[in-house]
């Protein structure tokens, strides 16, 4: 019985005997929200118009619905990005636990799950070469897997596991921002090698840039998230939060 009590306390999301920080003592919260909103203000307009001519991803031949699948991925992904900014905020989780649970459902079922499934569909026919295809499909699978594992953990009241899986899910949600940073850097490094390394082939150059940015972005953020989780000490918490 004592062992079961200890496990219940170790798995609850509320810290025991540790005062929570004020909301303004999390200096990363506001910059995170600003970056997410700024990114969406840049990325969303071409898809809100529902005009295939404005797409930033060329449509492959034989897939007439490509643009609308891509639009769905972008819109659901935007929901995931905005909601996870609140979900990852410790002060918000402590102050508004009911809102945290409800927004969490939106994040999972109206954000990650549909966006990841559509990402796998779109990624499997990516026009940026086979290296990018593998990366996009694998990213969708891992993103979906981490989020599903986090959802199952909270349903089973394994709150510590839930937190760890959702941090990984959050990192993958935000990896698209890193992708947009790595892409221009890779282009700046590789473009001068067009006539030598790529023998003048702009297709090979473009696929190499896309492949590097695709793989580097999500693998890098996942490694950073795991490093952060591994360096954080285990936390003792109480069992006062009701089941979801």
Cα separations in angstroms, 119 against 23, 82, 134, 137, 146: 34, 18, 12, 7, 15
pLDDT for res 62: 86
Tokens 């796998």 locate to: 120
> Does residue 2 register a pLDDT over 70?
no
80-111 residue pLDDT tens = 999 999 998 888 889 999 999 999 999 999 99
The average pLDDT across 192-199 equals: 95
Place of tokens 């007439």: 64
Of the listed ranges 11-15, 88-92, 210-214, 237-241, the one predicted with least confidence: 237-241
Between 170 and 1, residue with greater pLDDT: 170
DSSP classification of residue 59: P
At 13 the pLDDT is: 47
pLDDT of 67 > 50? The answer is: yes
Lowest mean pLDDT among 11-20, 101-110, 140-149, 204-213: 11-20
Q: Percent of the chain scored above 90 by pLDDT?
A: 70
């Amino acid at each position: 019985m004592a062992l079961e009590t200890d496990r219940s306390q170790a798995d609850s999301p509320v810290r025991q005997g540790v005062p929570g920080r004020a909301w303004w003592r999390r200096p990363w919260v506001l910059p995170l929200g600003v970056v997410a909103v700024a990114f969406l203000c840049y990325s969303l307009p071409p898809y809100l118009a529902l005009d295939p001519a404005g797409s930033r991803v060329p449509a492959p031949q034989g897939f007439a619905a490509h643009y609308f699948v891509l639009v769905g991925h972008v819109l659901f992904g935007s929901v995931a990005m905005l909601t996870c900014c609140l979900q990852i905020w410790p002060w918000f989780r402590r102050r508004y636990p009911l809102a945290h649970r409800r927004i969490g459902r939106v994040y999972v079922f109206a954000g990650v799950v549909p966006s990841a499934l559509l990402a796998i569909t779109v990624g499997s026919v990516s026009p940026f070469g086979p290296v990018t295809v593998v990366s996009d499909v694998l990213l969708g699978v891992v993103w979906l897997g981490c989020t599903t594992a986090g959802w199952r953990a909270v349903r089973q009241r394994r709150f510590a596991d839930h937190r760890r899986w959702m941090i990984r899910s959050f990192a993958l949600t935000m990896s698209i921002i890193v992708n947009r940073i790595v892409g221009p850097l890779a282009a700046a490094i590789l473009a001068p090698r067009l006539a030598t390394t790529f023998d003048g082939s702009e297709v090979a150059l473009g696929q190499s840039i896309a492949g590097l940015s695709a793989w580097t972005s999500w693998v890098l953020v996942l490694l950073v998230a795991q490093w952060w989780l591994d360096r954080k000490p285990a936390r003792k918490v109480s069992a006062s939060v009701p089941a979801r």
